[in-house]
Amino acid sequence: MNDSLHVLGIDIGGTKTIVAIADNNGAIIAQDRINTPREQGPSVVLASIEKALRGLITRHPLRITSIGIGCGGPLDRERGVILTAPNLPGWENLDLCEHFEGLFGVPAYLDNDVNLMALGEARYGAGIGVDYMTYFNIGTGIGGGIVIGERLYRGCGNAGEFGHQIILPDGPECTCGKHGCLESLCSGTAIARRAREYLQMPENSASLILSVARGIQAVTAHHIAEAARAGDELAQRIWRETGTYLGLGVANVISILNPRLVVLGGGVMEAGDLLMEPIRQTVQDRAMTQLAADAEIVTGRLGDQAGIVGAVSLALEGEHDEDPSRGKWIALG
């Protein structure tokens, strides 16, 4: 048995969950990616996560000192409780930290999955050494994270809802129940919906998107990227529009936070330059000149590992992962 300190990380997603064991430098020693059997309810999901963790510990019999957990949905970080998880049916008021603390006898810490992606990128990815970093995750939804001096800024608990800033006051209804949010225009789901609206117009009936996706109902952001790369004009226009909307959202975050670095991650960013070019152009055209010049805009370096790396970071920090506003730092000012 190795006596140095190690931690467990859990990144719970609606379809996949990643578990990992890492050393006290945050280096992942081993990880396992399992399906999330969400239709079978929380107890089955929790049992399969436990099984995967025990498998890791059996193969790597190391001394575990804490557990970091990332999960979506409104949660109470301080109590370690999931309030509701939109992607996980039945996860209401679930005491996730207590559950894993009981199983493994070490403290567990919980945070929003996108916050942990931001933390992962800040400490081990695109944001290493950066003082002011903001992170956008553009996937099924759009989330964000604010990292100040390598620490998460959370405000009253849920700061960084970049996807719910209002981009078009008269825009479409959003998953949050409001209107015109960035997420209602640029999430993977919203991009596909906008594409379907275009594809229903007779003048777009010859678009490559339809043949790539094999039918209008099956269209995803992935198909639109494929069609755009094959030269389809409608697909290219959809990405330009999407990048322009995203650029407005990035410009606003830049005007408000004046970051040094904006990191863009999540599945939709697989579109690459189809998105990055209009995003950067829009920021240059629309944000205040000096603030736009301060901020580099890059894609994440950790890909879909950002969340598990962040969960490991959280485990390593544990109760020390304090917000920069907390008194113990301020008192020294």
Footprint on this chain of a second copy (rule: CB under 8 A): 74, 131-132, 144, 146, 148-151, 153-162, 164-169, 176-180, 248, 251-253, 255-260, 285-291, 294-295, 317, 320-322, 324-330, 332-333
Least distance between a second copy and beta carbon 278 (Å): 13
User: What are the distances in angstroms from CA 285 to CA 156, 227, 262, 279, 299?
Assistant: 33, 27, 17, 10, 20
Nearer to a second copy, 109 or 162 (CB): 162
Q: Which token pair is 171? A: 């825009």
Nearer to a second copy, 128 or 288 (CB): 288
User: What are the distances in angstroms from CA 282 to CA 102, 241, 245?
Assistant: 50, 10, 8
Cα 215 versus chain centre, distance: 29
Q: SS3 for 132-168, per residue?
A: EEEEEEECCCEEEEEEECCEEECCCCCCCCHHHCECC
* Count of CA atoms in the C-beta half-sphere (13 A) of 188: 20
Least distance between a second copy and beta carbon 298 (Å): 16
Nearer to a second copy, 100 or 239 (CB): 239
Nearer to a second copy, 53 or 266 (CB): 266
Nearer to a second copy, 17 or 252 (CB): 252
Nearer to a second copy, 100 or 266 (CB): 266
Nearer to a second copy, 92 or 285 (CB): 285
Least distance between a second copy and beta carbon 100 (Å): 23
Least distance between a second copy and beta carbon 152 (Å): 11
Rama region for 93: left / alpha / beta (φ>0; ψ in -120 to 50; rest): left
Could you tell me if 81 and 22 are in contact, meaning their C-beta atoms sit under 8 angstroms apart?
Answer: no
Rama region for 290: left / alpha / beta (φ>0; ψ in -120 to 50; rest): alpha
215 burial (CB, 10 Å; 0-12 / 13-18 / 19+) is: exposed
Least distance between a second copy and beta carbon 178 (Å): 5
Least distance between a second copy and beta carbon 91 (Å): 17
Least distance between a second copy and beta carbon 50 (Å): 30
